Structure 1
Amino acid sequence: MSIVHLNTAGAGLMSTATLNAIQRFTSIEARIGSYETELAYEELLNVDLYRVAAGLLNAQPSDIGFFSSATEAWTSILSKLNFPRGKRVWVSASEYAANLIFFNYLKLSRDLRVEVIPTTATSPLDLDWVQRNLDEDVFLVSVSHLPSCCGVINPVEALGALLKDSSALYVVDACQSLGQLPLDVRDIHCDVLTGAGRKFLCGPRGSGIAYVSPRLLGQLELNFADLHAASTDGQVNRIEVSSARVLEIAEKSFSALVGLHTAMREYAEVGAAVNTEPYALLVQELRRLPQVQLLCEPFEQTGTVSFVPRNSSAKVFVSLARELGLNLWAGTAAHTPLLLKDLGATHFVRASVGRQVTLAQVEQALVTLRSL
């Protein structure tokens, strides 16, 4: 049975080249030793990896850091930021729950006022509200480019244009958009952008990327730096804070990074040429099915479409689909609580189309979806 994978928003399918790169590195490790293999890959791991990632984001290699996940990148960076007591933090309705949990802790410890940027009838961000309410009291603005629950596109470039001349720091969670949409940190005017290697980039699990602007790097309070960026005589620490690598841990999964390097290079070759027809067909045909209710219909979306089945639970629906060779995902409102709270959708089915998915595969998936 051929499997159609419509769960790229969870994890994309690695290409043969990416898998071979990981296996080759691991095989050499087993033969000559891990440290020795790391030395053999020194140019890739210490130079080209950062160059390729920087190229995807229109950043400098010194602004790039690598982590084990997008969440680790996001929390590692923001936890080193000194939030002034009583300031305001703005979040999007699309915010991932883990980000909200972080800010809720700060509400208790720093008396932060966490405010949600309103939506409009047609946009997930009310930019007029932003323009009216932006002042020196807003310390940080955090936006998930695409939410976990559906394919809604937040206008991060337009928001950045409003924020660029303010003192507010701007953080973009690009976990679901990296590898799917063009990302240019200069156009977005953000201070932090984080993304996952395993999703639309189709890299391995255990890999995450962060862009950190020089402005924000200079504001971080480092409570730890690993030996690759720091030294100590036992009494005094000396830390090199010239690049985002100071935020990394020296010990990491180098095989995952080697695989990520290949996945990023593959995406860089196709970039804006990714075929959007399979996704458009899927959405078009799902709209025709009376047994499902699509989520977030008024907003522009890409890559992911989510729906509530009317005659079964999301979990049962996804389980039946998997038995028939179709990978979907049963999501809950807990992952994106703000966006879904007014829709009354506690559970939903998420279908996400990676760049390898063909029109023929979507047609095959639609046969299964209609049967269910």
Structure 2
Amino acid sequence: MNAPTHHGQRTAHLDAAGTGPMPDAVRAVLADCTARDDRFGARALDEHLAAGPGPGIRERLGRLLGVPARDTLPVTGAADAFDAFLARLDPGPRDRIWTTPHEGVAQLTSLHALRDRTRCRLDVVPLRPDGDLDLDWMRAHIGPDVALVSAVHVSAACGTANPVHEIGRILTPHRARYAVDASHSAGQLPLDAARIGCDLLTADGWRFLRGPQDTGFAYTRPGARDTSPTSPTSPGGPGAHARPAPGQPPVPAPAAVAALNTALAHHAAAPPPLQDLLPRLRAVLERTPGVELLPAGRDRAGILAFRHHEVPAARLRRALARHGAVLAKTVAQEHPLHPAAAGGAPAVRASVHRGTTAQDIDHFARALRDALREERHTPTAPAPAPAPAPAAALAAAAGGAGGRGWPSPYAGRTVRRGHLTLHSAT
């Protein structure tokens, strides 16, 4: 989606992974509903929305995810829904929960809180040398003491598309609950929660779906909605750790729900893109001197992250914005377990959405060329060395490196960092 900047120039919006540009119809619904709420009150807005034609948001969510509408719920964001789901779990102190290096800091915070509350063990599934999740490790280590597996469908750090369907097949015979964060796949990849086999699927609505801020949705499998997995290794046997759900995740304001519903309708009605523009974006970066792409697994979806050898990420992002290219800066603390966080240096992240055009990529190429020409001739004071990110601390403790530039932050030990303890995956 292109729009003029304050200089009247063309804008290439390449930050759908952060905040997708709202379509005009979505923005209009949000403005209208907000104005009605402000002028006439919430009850009048509810009546106005109830009288509106067309499917409700849960029907559209059901179609997007391939599940019954009754099993979906609009929420304020994926992290809020994940936190509410974890509040219903009560694993025992001998149980394990698994996460991956792709997990974002908000979900990691909730996992750490669950670990601290229940004294269970938090393990990190390792990566293979090519950057993919090690599914063979999962098959070899799954057992009755694994209570929860949390996976990210598409990594916000570098765009790796993880095999969430295959993970579901590995977990099917076992007790473990399975949660999938689809925040960076919803709106760009097909989603079928039933086929994935997850107990929970969450996503933000303001990224590739291009809805308003503070919106998202959750699908909860009916069998996982009211009870938590009980610990077969704890005293009391089955049922000893079950407890009632403490409540639902927070729901967005009615105006935001209406706008997200419009965004879902816009997404469903829009034709698929004529071509995958990610290879074209990648080619621009690969032929630019001084640019280093952050490594990812074999499959990518919609996102590329990169650094420049001379120009820091913050300066480069601002310079690109002056030339009409909207990208994001990412920092290690956002994905502290990911190998890209090693060393703590920020990166620039580019992401394409269904409205991105080839002209946008060409405009970005010109903006990148001009921004680098300017910034390389701008003297700056030397920046202090960045503090090591948690992933860098893990890598330093483990030593060694995997193939294709992948650090190996897990090497058969428990690493402590302040109050955080992560058990390595061995």
- Tell me the equivalent position of 1:264: 264
Query: Counterparts of 2:52 and 2:142 in 1: how far apart (Å)?
Result: 43
CA distance in structure 2 between the partners assigned to 1:274 and 1:122 by the alignment: 29
User: Which segment is superposed worse, 71-80 or 194-203?
Assistant: 71-80
Supply the AA of the counterpart residue of 1:206.
Answer: D
- 2:188 alignment partner in structure 1: 180
Using CA pairs under 8 Å that are at least 6 residues apart, name the structure with larger relative contact order, 1 or 2. 1
Give the corresponding residue for 1:129: 137
Matched with 2:146 is: 138
Letter in 1 for 2:301: T
Q: CA RMSD in A?
A: 2.1
Amino acid at match of 2:368: L
Query: Quick one: which of 219, 225, 229 aligns to 1:217?
Result: 225
Q: Indicate the residue corresponding to 1:88 in structure 2.
A: 96
TM-score normalised per structure 1:
0.88
Does the CA-based 8 Å contact 1:333-1:340 persist in structure 2?
A: no
8 Å Cα contact 1:281-1:362 kept in structure 2? yes
The question of 1:334 aligning with 2:342 is answered no
- Distance in 2 between the 1:33 and 1:105 partners? 38
Counterpart residue number, 1:152:
160
State the 1:222 CA deviation.
4.5
Judged with a 3 Å threshold, the aligned counterparts in structure 2 of structure 1 residues 346 and 164 are, in CA distance, closer, same or farther, namely same
Percent identity, aligned pairs only, is 29
Distance 1:44 1:191, change over 3 A: farther
Size of the aligned set, in residue pairs, is: 349
Q: 8 Å contact 2:161–2:297 — kept in the other structure?
A: no
| Deviations, residues 71-129 of structure 1 (Å, cap 9, x unaligned) | 11111221222222221011111111122222223333322111111111335211111
Aligned-residue offset at 1:44: 6.0
Cα offset, 1:31, TM superposition = 4.5
C-alpha displacement at 1:148, in angstroms?
Answer: 2.0
Task: Give the match's secondary structure for 1:302.
Answer: coil
SS of the equivalent of 2:139 reads helix
Paired with 1:185 and 1:304, the residues of 2 have a C-alpha distance of: 22
Tell me, which stretches of 5 or more residues in structure 2 are unaligned? 1-8, 229-242, 373-426
Cα distance change of structure 1 residues 249 and 107 upon mapping to structure 2, 3 Å threshold: closer
**CA shift in 2, pair 1:46/1:77, >3 Å:** farther
Task: Report how far residue 293 of structure 1 moved.
Answer: 0.6
CA contact (8 A) 1:308 1:345 kept: no
TM-score in terms of structure 2 length: 0.77
Q: Deviations over 1:144-193 (max 9, x none)?
A: 11122121111101111111121110000111111111110111100001
Q: How far off its partner does 1:30 sit?
A: 4.1
Task: Report the CA distance shift for 1:46/1:346 in structure 2 as closer, same or farther (over 3 A).
Answer: farther
User: Is the alpha carbon distance of 1:89 and 1:249 closer, same or farther for their aligned partners in structure 2, counting shifts above 3 Å?
Assistant: closer
Matches within 5 A, 1:1-372: 1-42=9-50, 48-220=56-228, 221-222=243-244, 224-225=246-247, 247-249=248-250, 252-270=252-270, 273-340=272-339, 343-344=342-343, 346-371=345-370, 372=372
Q: CA deviation at 1:298?
A: 4.6
Aligned-partner Cα distance in 2 for 1:162–1:297: 23
| Amino acid across the alignment from 2:266 | E
Q: Which residue of 1 aligns with 2:376?
A: none
Letter in 2 for 1:261: N
Structure with greater helix share of residues: 1
Task: Look up the equivalent residue of 2:109 and give its one-letter code.
Answer: I
Counterpart Cα distance in 2 of 1:95 and 1:112: 18
Q: Secondary structure of 2:208's partner?
A: coil
